Every structure is written in structure tokens, then in C-alpha cells.
Amino acid sequence: MNSFANSMNAAASGMQAQGFRMRVISENIANKDTPGFHRKTVSFDNAYNRERDMNLVKVDRVGLDRSKLERVYNPAHPMADESGHVELSNVSLMMEMADGREANRSYEANLATFQQARQMYSSLMDILRR
């Protein structure tokens, strides 16, 4: 396979991974007010593709942030324990917004790489047709 296709495949795998990361961030934000919800985290890894003889980005695993849940006193809440405390989520909107911005910028960088490789490949084909 040519280097243009390899570049586009690598960029596409990066966009796919960052798109998945954005879905997880969206889920975290949606569950910010869900009692007992643990924030989800995403980790990435290299995936060697023998068919293409190249490294791609893949989602390694989705884990849970085991940091302490916020605990508030609210005996009227249906999920309150014997002492009247409720464990809220450990989602921080500031952290999610920062992660989302980073994922968005990484996605855009991969998209720019993909578009540049496609443009270079198209220019090469135009030159060869002459």
C-alpha cells in the first residue's frame, strides 16, 4: 500500500479514536447529576495492522475514575443511606470540558492530516494523467 493511503488510514484511526473519546465525555457530562456515577476514562494504544504493515490508534480500554464520590447530607433523597448521606458523581465539568477540547483538537489535527494526504494524492494523480 502506498504512503498516501497509510497516512490516511493512520489519520482515520486517530479520528475514530477521538470520536469515541468524545462520546465517553458526552456520557460523563450527561451523568454529572446521577448519584453514584463514576466518571469514565479512555486510554489508547498502538494497534499493529499486519495487512497494511503499519501502526494505527485503537481504544485500549474504557475505565472508571475511582476517585472519591462527593458525599452530601440529604435525608429526603431516595438514595440516601442510613445516615442521610447521598454519594453524587465524581464528574467535574471543568475536566470534561478540557478533555473535550483536547479530543476536538486531536480530531481536527487528524482530519487536517487526512485532507493533506488526500490532496497530495489527488495532485499526484493529476500530474500522472498529463
**Looking at residue 1, what is its pLDDT?**
53
**Looking at residue 50, what is its pLDDT?**
86
pTM: 0.85
Q: What are the residue ranges in the chain where pLDDT is below 50?
A: none
Return the closest-CA partner of residue 20 out of 59, 57, 56. 59
**Based on the structure, what is the number of domains in the chain?**
1
At 108, list the grid cell: 481536527
**Looking at residue 18, what is its pLDDT?**
97
Give the strand pairing for 71-73 and 85-87. Answer: antiparallel
- H or E segment and range at residue 24: helix 3-30
Enclosing domain of residue 11: 3-129
